[in-house]
Each structure stands twice: as structure tokens, then as C-alpha cells.
Amino acid sequence: MKAAVFLSLVAVLVAGCETVPPGVERGPHGTIAYDVIVESSEPGVTILVNGEEVGTTPLTLRIWGDKDGTFHDFGSYVYVVQALPLNTNQFTQTRVFRTGRWFTPEDVIPRQIYFDMDQPPPAYVTPVTPPVYYYPYYPYSPPIYFHYHHVRPLHVHPRVHISRPPLEIHRSPPPRR
């Protein structure tokens, strides 16, 4: 009897972890379907999703997302929705949503996307960075252009010379050459 109660309790706890509302369409990788209404200022605009044509406005776009209402990572950092202009005086409109790939932030799936085809795209200003100055890499300390006149080198090896600092500090004129 105790085993049956324990197993039913475990089954309730395990089943309680699944928080998908009833009647929701399930998708791949544990995702659920979200319906997003896509409209534009002028009907008949071609809509591209991640570079593939999906239809013309107005349309309902089915997006597979996580259960918390965010975009799911299907292998891309972004989910891109574009609207192509119909006339020459209109501009291509783009909406970019982050998917949360590799611990990057993720965006919430909107209920509606509206494209105003008469709006020019935003002017992205590239920041002007100051020039970077690189110093040469020395595998040893940089050269020192002064020498001690009164210090005798300590010979360790025929090619290695180590100079000892003087014990007393006194000034002597530089040698004449």
C-alpha cells in the first residue's frame, strides 16, 4: 500500500513539472506554437522569415517558441522578419529578435508585428574609436640606454654578463672616448 501511494505521489510530481496548457500545439524540441499577426502600412507586402518567403501581408505567422514565451534557439542567434517594399518610395523593413543561443539574451515573441513601409531605416552610426597604439613585444626587458661607469660585470658564462649595482653612490664624469 505504501509503495502504491509513493508511486502515485512520484507520478503526480513528475507530471506536475510539465506546464503546457491544454489545447496548445506542441512543436519540435519541447516548443509550443505562437501565432503572430504581421501587418503593414500597405497590404500585399512580401514577408521573409530568415531569408525565406512566407507570404504577403496581412498574414498570421506561426512561430515555435519556448514555453515562457521567448524565441527558441534552433541553431541561430537571431530570428529575422523582413518586409519588402512594393513601390520605389518605400523602404525594406527588418525586425531582428534574439533567440538566446549560447547564453545570450532572448526576446519575447510579440503578438503583432507592424511594418510602416514609408519609414526610412534607422541610420546606424559606427562609433569612432581612437587609434590603438601597440608597443613592441620584448621577450626580455626593453633596452636600457645608460650604463654604470664604475661597475664591473660579473662573469657567469662567456656570453652572459650580469652587472652588479654599486654599493656607494658617487658621480663620476663619463669616460672620454
pLDDT digits (tens, 9 = 90+) for 77-121: 899 999 999 998 899 999 999 998 888 889 999 999 999 999 988
20 pLDDT band (50/70/90 cuts)? Answer: low
Query: In the predicted model, what is the mean pLDDT of residues 149-153?
Result: 52
Q: What is the pLDDT of residues 52-76, one digit of tens each?
A: 999 999 999 999 999 999 999 888 8
Task: Please tell me the predicted confidence (pLDDT) of residue 75.
Answer: 86
The count of domains in the chain is 1
Task: Please tell me the predicted confidence (pLDDT) of residue 158.
Answer: 57
pLDDT higher for 174 or 65? 65
Does any domain span residue 147? no
DSSP state of 111: S
| pLDDT at residue 146 greater than cutoff 80 | no
Does any domain span residue 153? no
152 pLDDT band (50/70/90 cuts)? Answer: low
Task: Please tell me the predicted confidence (pLDDT) of residue 123.
Answer: 76
Give this prediction's pTM: 0.59
**78-84 and 112-115 beta bridge pairing:** unpaired
Task: Please tell me the predicted confidence (pLDDT) of residue 126.
Answer: 61
Does any domain span residue 12? no
Q: 10 Å Cβ neighbour count for 117?
A: 19
Does any domain span residue 53? yes
Does any domain span residue 127? no
CB 117 within 8 A of CB 86: yes
Q: How far apart are CA 119 and CA 40, in angstroms?
A: 11
Residue 141, burial from CB neighbour count under 10 angstroms (0-12, 13-18, 19+):
exposed
CA-wise closest residue to 62 among 39, 83, 35: 35
Residue 62 belongs to domain spanning: 22-115
CA distances from 26 to 22, 29, 67 (A): 10, 9, 10
Element (H, E) at 13: helix 2-16
Fill in the amino acid letter for 8.
S
